[in-house]
Structure 1
Amino acid sequence: MADLDIVIGNKTFTVACQDGQEQFLRSAARQLSEQADALLAQIGRMPADRMLLMAGLMLADKTITMEQELTNTRHTLHELQSRPAPPPERVEVPVIPPVVVETMAELAARAEAVAARIEERAAS
């Protein structure tokens, strides 16, 4: 078990924590200290126990707000996932008119005939 010195509201506290949890404890202490510093900036000096109580309540308020937002977000996500899939979008592909196909085939046949005649003349 590790002992850490953390500073909250300009006061140092020694706190024991399990090995490997030091970073989590430092992060939590930093959040609590930010709240305590905000209180001290607004109110000034106050007893440590009152400062810690007020800072803890401020963090609890933030936590409750975030939990409500998370619940609302989950509810919205569930609603969106429960909706039926939208109907597939109809995509229309232009169709080449038969007359154009026939004309292109006729042009291709003529081009092949011209090419064949050129080859015959070149061979003779």
Structure 2
Amino acid sequence: MPEVEITIGGRQFEVACAEGEEHYLLAAAKMLDTEASVLTEQIGRLPEARMLLMAGLMLADRTAGLEDRLRDADGEMAKVRGELEALKSAPAPEPQRVEVPVVPQRVTETLEELAARAESIADAMEEKTAG
């Protein structure tokens, strides 16, 4: 079982941990040291037991707040999942009827005839101006 030396509030401690868990122990010690440093800056030097207790309580308070937020977020996610499932299981909406206006054949034929006349007039004018 490896032993790791950690520093909390300017004090050195040797702590044993399971093989491969050193990284987690160092990360936890860093968090505790951060809280202990805040205490020593605000209050000054404290007895070791009191410093560790106060730093631990500060971390526990922060953790409790995060757990509350996580629980709230989990409740919101459950609500969203429920709404999503309700939408998935709901019947498909009725298709909407869309009417597209159709141009009557008679109008199309009339427009073609007008276009042909306009081209004929344009050709006649070109012949007169060229001749």
TM-score class, shorter: 0.7 to 0.9
**Aligned sequence identity (%):** 37
**Residues in 1 aligned to 2:16 and 2:104: alpha-carbon distance in whole angstroms:** 85
| Number of equivalenced pairs | 106
* Secondary structure in structure 1 of the residue aligned to 2:49: helix
Check 1:100–1:8 CA distance in 2 against 1; reply closer, same or farther (3 A cut): farther
Cα drift, residue 82 of structure 1:
1.4
Q: 2:81 is matched with which residue? A: 81
> Within the alignment, does 1:97 sit opposite 2:108 as a pair?
no
Closer, same or farther: CA 100–12 of 1 in aligned 2, 3 Å: farther
Whole-Å Cα distance in 2 between the matches of residues 18 and 27 of structure 1?
Answer: 15
Distance 1:40 1:100, change over 3 A: farther
1: CA distance, partners of 2:16 / 2:33: 17
Alpha-carbon RMSD: 3.0
What secondary structure sits across from 1:15 in the alignment?
strand
- Find the residue that maps to 1:13 and give its secondary structure: strand
Aligned CA distance change for structure 1 residues 97 and 64 (closer, same or farther; 3 Å)? same
The amino acid of 1:40's aligned partner reads: T
Q: Secondary structure at the match of 1:20?
A: coil
Instruction: Give the whole-Å Cα distance in 2 for the aligned partners of 1:32 and 1:75.
Output: 30
Inter-CA distance 47–90: structure 2 relative to 1 (3 Å threshold): farther
Is 1:58–2:62 an aligned residue pair? no
Q: For residues 49-68 of structure 1, what are the alpha-carbon distances to aligned partners after superposition, in whole Å with 9 as ceiling and x for unaligned?
A: 10000000000001111111
**Unmatched segments (≥5 aa) in structure 1:** 108-124
The 1-side partners of 2:72 and 2:13 are apart by 37
Give, in angstroms, the shift of residue 95 of structure 1: 5.4
1-structure distance, mates of 2:71, 2:59: 18
Match of residue 41 from structure 2 = 41
Residue number in structure 1 paired with 2:125 = none
1: distance between equivalents of 2:44 and 2:21? 32
